[in-house]
Copies of this chain bind each other. A is one copy, B any other.
Amino acid sequence: MSNSNGSKMRRQEKEKQILLAAEKVFAEAGFGGATMQLIADVSGLPKANIHYYFSTKEDLYRRVVSNIFDIWLQAAEAFDESSGPAEGIGGYIDAKMEISRRHPMGSKVWASEVMHGAPVIQDYLEDVLVSWTEGRIEVIQHWIDDGLMAQTNPRHLLYMIWSTTQHYADFQHQIETLNGGRPLDDAEWQDAKANVRGIILRGLGIDETG
């Protein structure tokens, strides 16, 4: 039956299956500690089959990191569609907290990659991330100039948002240990989110209700 993209579909699904396993293994062991054999075992495929879809370990890794980067950038939309700092910054924090909750492994892979000097995605950093950051800094600076929030260095504000939100993904294990060995439940996530958003917005002199 179909056809020209039938095989393509199957390929995409298989790649997704492998990428999911790879994300898990890379997150738990780092690039160096991850082995193709383990990725094969987790994905339930023979190692040689993995190499059919991704010729090298670095190839596979690059795809994993770039997937995460895309998800990351989606949270940026909170900024663009916002009417002001309460909605823009508050929404951005919420979105990033949600990503930390739903994609903790992706965040870990990203963190590992950057911590080791971004050998694979340096071009992403220099290109997309730099320009995205510059754009957001401008928006924040405008809000400051318009008296909608306190005087702050927008760049360091962004770092603060990134670090606080991603901390819940990257240091998930530490947080669980300090939470009696159990993951945060729904109420605790809400509490975490409210605390992060509350302190930052108050610290910026922004009225949280609008």
Contacts and interface: CB of A to CB of B under 8 A. Distances in A.
A170 B116 CA distance: 9
Looking at chain A's contact residues, is the secondary structure mostly helix, strand, loop, or mixed?
helix
A116 B116 CA distance: 14
A153 B114 contact: no
A130 B192 CA distance: 18
Q: How many copies does the complex hold?
A: 2
Nearest to A30: B30
Given A133-B178, A153-B195, A171 B115 contact: yes
A139 interface: no
Contacts of A129: 174, 177-178
A33 interface: yes
B116 A196 contact: no
A155 B122 CA distance: 35
A148 interface: no
A65 to B, nearest CB: 13
Contact of A173 (B114, B175, B192): B114
